[in-house]
Structure 1
């Protein structure tokens, strides 16, 4: 995660049923690190939990960060803490913004959001509007009351199509998708059924035209390496043997690597670690095909070794 930033909660408000927006600033009013649309923060909550949230505020406001947090009744407790116990004035440590879901330059965009998946798309929409390119948002949710930031989207008129499922049904993806190979790029964030439907419909699209961000990991179809392998930690100066039922993250942290993690599912990117030597077996839901082929990083919470030995920058 690198050096942490000290932040303080300055605003907290409900923006939809079950969704809370939190604004964070530096305690001394200092400028915060810049970020780009699609970026997220790793927040170290006052109770010690580390959680990842997409930045959804004004990227040109150098003094504040805003995140939107959906209450997850079946979650691990991070969202419940934010909703029930986090207060204005509380201090929070955060990573510098990191972006695994960048807005690719294009003359046109189709943004697809499902539920809280609207959060990383909001800054993309603002950027597209700012530079004057063609864009359209298709935003689905269970009901109007559960769909956050509708007031901000209202100013964009018919460029933003809001589809509450209880009134209008599911998003009609085929009616809105651009043809494969067109100049319109698709950026989508939302629950697994939305992403799976999009993947089926765009299976023949060229690489790079469709970009997605997941809440939960994609189903893994390849077999995991089922024998022990060595991991050398170059900076720590230790070599550890990772057992078949042990994560690389647990193994390297047990010998002093101190790599922070959040989701432990290969979706947030908090534990990203550089690979110096060896061939990683990628099992995350973050990297695209070209990034996997580069073999210069891995997410040790889920990824393993495709060779007998890895050397990591940890």
Structure 2
């Protein structure tokens, strides 16, 4: 699964490989169960050509035959250019993407991907504390391997409902007591007071998992130096209702030479697409970064779950799938 959101003060940049918006055709060459309801897929190009380079924390868009687009973290080795791995949790309450992959992505199945893009990059630090909940282990797994190769001290706290539901425990087993599994049915929920008990200077904290875990980490890390905590979300942060101008807003698409009226209740993304402007998007929830657009004039009313507080304050870019304007006009680089 993936993506995405950084926390306030995070100076890491969203990273896309050259051509990250291009579509890539791959074949499933291996599928295996790595935990209860978690499927690992190994993907290669049918031509055997190398896949684009990526860095720990990156995700890809999977463009399913049903028309659904879903994001999944790359959880293999970034140095392995011949294949990619993704981990897919079956989500019964989801919109059908994970179910399709579980039911239909057998060996030999052709899939179309887009990416990779990294909203959750691993930044160089003196030491790391990784915190993963459930399938949140997928972007963290290559981070652990990278920290180990770099010779940086690290520890991984890994929570789950039960051991059988916790993916990649076997792969992590060689790291000994630096990996600290906490199945809820054995030891209760992750004790964040213990996780954060030793706050050594130069430590970066990376957290991915359910919203409750991320919110609790953010609350407990408020007194840390700016940028100490970096997070990735799988679902958007609920946003309060806002009043919009009765006539909606006006969006000037500078490169296209179009001025588009965006009525209340219609996203900027939908409005500009209806006007003929070609814009890529994936999640339509403000968490993946695909539709991020440069703001040339006007003040965005940010409603995404990806930009940091500093980035939102700067107002240089916005996620047009969910965000609006703090006035009645925006000029965008579209």
TM-score (norm 1): 0.94
Match of 2:141 among 102, 122, 141: 122
Matched, 1:17 2:36: yes
Name the structure 1 match of 2:57: 38
Match of 2:300 among 261, 268, 280: 280
Deviations, residues 6-30 of structure 1 (Å, cap 9, x unaligned): 2222211111111011111111111
**Aligned CA distance change for structure 1 residues 9 and 146 (closer, same or farther; 3 Å):** same
Name the structure 2 match of 1:142: 161
Match of 2:212 among 173, 183, 193: 193
Q: How does 1:197-216 map to 2 (within 5 A)?
A: 197-216=216-235
The 1-side partners of 2:69 and 2:291 are apart by: 11
Q: How does 1:204-243 map to 2 (within 5 A)?
A: 204-221=223-240, 223=242, 225-227=244-246, 228-243=248-263
Q: CA RMSD in A?
A: 1.7
Q: CA deviation at 1:258?
A: 3.1
Q: CA deviation at 1:46?
A: 2.5
Name the structure 2 match of 1:54: 73
The 2-side partners of 1:249 and 1:311 are apart by: 14
Q: Which has the higher contact order (CA 8 A, sep 6+)?
A: 2
Instruction: Indicate if the aligned counterparts of 1:178 and 1:184 stay in contact, CA closer than 8 A.
Output: no
Deviations, residues 272-294 of structure 1 (Å, cap 9, x unaligned): 22323322221111111222233
The 2-side partners of 1:180 and 1:225 are apart by: 44
Q: CA deviation at 1:62?
A: 0.9
Secondary structure of 1:69's partner?
Answer: strand
Name the structure 2 match of 1:6: 25
Matched, 1:76 2:103: no
Instruction: Indicate if the aligned counterparts of 1:236 and 1:256 stay in contact, CA closer than 8 A.
Output: no
Match of 1:271 among 284, 288, 291: 291
Matched, 1:247 2:264: no
The worse-fitting range, judged by mean Cα deviation, of 127-136 and 273-282 is 273-282
Name the structure 2 match of 1:304: 324
Instruction: Indicate if the aligned counterparts of 1:55 and 1:120 stay in contact, CA closer than 8 A.
Output: yes
The 2-side partners of 1:313 and 1:181 are apart by: 43
Matched, 1:289 2:309: yes
The 1-side partners of 2:280 and 2:182 are apart by: 38
The 2-side partners of 1:209 and 1:222 are apart by: 30
Name the structure 2 match of 1:102: 121
Deviations, residues 8-57 of structure 1 (Å, cap 9, x unaligned): 22211111111011111111111111111111101112322111111111
Q: CA deviation at 1:138?
A: 0.3
The 2-side partners of 1:181 and 1:254 are apart by: 52
Secondary structure of 2:115's partner?
Answer: coil
Name the structure 1 match of 2:9: none
Unaligned stretches of 5+ in structure 1?
Answer: none
The 1-side partners of 2:311 and 2:45 are apart by: 34
Instruction: Indicate if the aligned counterparts of 2:245 and 2:328 stay in contact, CA closer than 8 A.
Output: no
Deviations, residues 239-284 of structure 1 (Å, cap 9, x unaligned): 1111221111111111122323332221122222232332222111
Name the structure 2 match of 1:262: 282
Instruction: Indicate if the aligned counterparts of 1:180 and 1:202 stay in contact, CA closer than 8 A.
Output: no
Name the structure 2 match of 1:313: 333
Q: CA deviation at 1:298?
A: 1.3
Q: CA deviation at 1:3?
A: 1.9
The worse-fitting range, judged by mean Cα deviation, of 139-148 and 267-276 is 267-276
Name the structure 1 match of 2:192: 173
Unaligned stretches of 5+ in structure 2?
Answer: 1-19
TM-score (norm 2): 0.89
